Structure 1
Amino acid sequence: MRIRVSTLILALALTGCQLKPEIEGELFYQRGLVTEEGGEFSFRLCRDRQWYSQEAPPRVLTEQYAEATQNREGLAVYVEGWGVHSPVGWQLLQPRVIGGDLNSCREHIEGAALRAFGVSPNWVADLSDTKFVLREAERLRTLGFTDLQFIRDGNTWRWRGDVKRGRNTLNAELMVFKRPCFDTADTWYFLTAELYLEGQLFRGCARYGDLGRLDLASRYSTPPDTYLRDLYLLLRADGRARLLIDNHTEDQSLDVRTGHWRRMSSGRLLVETEGDGGNEDTLLWSVEQDGSIRLLTDDPNFGRGLQLVRSGVPLQWPQEREVNLP
């Protein structure tokens, strides 16, 4: 099956006080929990309590779920992968990670498009648009390889880079294969990784990064008939933000502000926007268990405690992302 990351056309339009973004394509990448009872599989997002029946769970999911749970029904297992939205909820088509529990939802791998890792020795390599950073636990060293050269050969993705160490230049090659891999906790991964450095071969698994953006990138709005004004917030996966405020004035004018957003190390959400008049706003939000966000800033326009609920389907990484991922 060929996975195609959909083109996202994010159009903010207001019709009857509702955002009308257009989304083309079918496949989405999501993460959450899967459980099985009586031969029936169900899935829910990490930040959602609603379970959705899986009408045709992939064979690898049923096999790895049985391994992870030792054939015990009702246990929740962490999973992430590509799927589609259907009338009965999100359906998983191609798993990329199977294993772990609810705590796995707290792993975000910020700032990395892809993470490769392994043991014996312990190593982690985080790949971004311009470099990959290798951390070796035993040698207590971190190396950043730049000037990346990317080569794809069938189901093998290669990134070559170098880093200067004094008068010497170290060369490294990171390779990722479409081949199943297991970590020391018996978590299953769709991707296998190898890294060559100074004649040494590092072996391990690989997975997607930037999962924090995946969790938060979406549309948010005030609940109906709750506040005197309506707010609509769009958080794009590339870090851009757009805030639309409807004050329900007689001239029906709208206050539109654009800016950026990021997840802070504390897990809170920071949104910085600027309006047409140059007015700047820095809004700090808490991320609630039900997927909504709540304003922590004492803002004179919005007050403290304003709640926005998530609406619509989740957003994905933009197609213009420079990293070519398997």
Structure 2
Amino acid sequence: MVTTFDHGGGVRSVAVPIPDNPLGHTLVYVVDTDRGPVLVDTGWDDPASWDTLVAGLTACGTAVPEVYGVVITHHHPDHHGLSARVREASGAWVAMHAADAAIVRRTRGTRPERWFTYMAAKLTAAGAPEQHVAPLRTARGRRLAGLSPALPDREIVPGELLDLPGRRLRAIWTPGHTPGHVCLHLEEEHPAQLPGHGRLFSGDHLLPRITPHIGLYEDPDDATVTDPLGDYLDSLERIGRLAPAEVLPAHQHTFTDASGRVRELLDHHEERLAGLLALLAEPLTPWQLAEHMEWNRPWTEIPYGSRNIAVSEAESHLRRLVKQGRAEAVAGSEPVAYVAV
């Protein structure tokens, strides 16, 4: 069954399934323009997902060959996965922020063995036990999802209007979930006259009931210490000031009161940082911190891959605390442990 929805004002959505994922689906938005429909994200690269997208566009009164362009909020495979197939079938352009386009190029150009080696080293440095790291050392024959994402052919420049003839869609850079995540502000009166400033395609930056993952996205050959949580919090405040009438996210459902949701997320992260400081009364490695953090299930029930994501999120919070001067690395510790100041 294909689920589509008419949001009014020449905007529709298609729920494109994500295989074997609790999120269920990605909302792909179909925006009418004077040159044909433009898609905001495309969904996961899977035969069933492709069939759903094709059927959904038909239900929306259009078809894949008519697509004029694809705007990608960020590089993750549940958003960017089908971009290549859409472009092949339509000749559409594909646009992405330069920071995420760099990740796409790096992903395409790096052998899987390099990623496994890098991940093993990162997890070892984070204090992961050898039984967790060992599978990465022998995973050379495995194929990682999303290793050949489509190279975008256009760059999304923050602050500029995108090429949607007859529409006003402006890009807002909102790093955090990924370095090049963008939200897209449709600067047009809300079709139902809701109070606020237009509508916002928020990708994964602002979701109604989920706190997006804030992990580390680093180049294996670049030792720069990033602060993705700090970037995310700054980006949230920017969106809060925008005060759109309605938010059209990539998952779950549309909602109003973006400023209220931003406040909830800012409070959530401050509470979480305070809770982590309490845990850091004694020195903990990032792995140990992740083990003690509150997740949606007990640590013993968290799958292997999700543990890697959890450790990445623990590290992003540690970096924020260190940058704020609220925690520091314990001199001489190996793997490095951190303690509250």
- Return the index of the structure with the highest Cα Rg: 1
The TM-score, its normalising length taken from structure 2, stands at 0.25
Question: Which structure carries more strand by proportion?
Answer: 1
Question: Which structure carries more helix by proportion?
Answer: 2
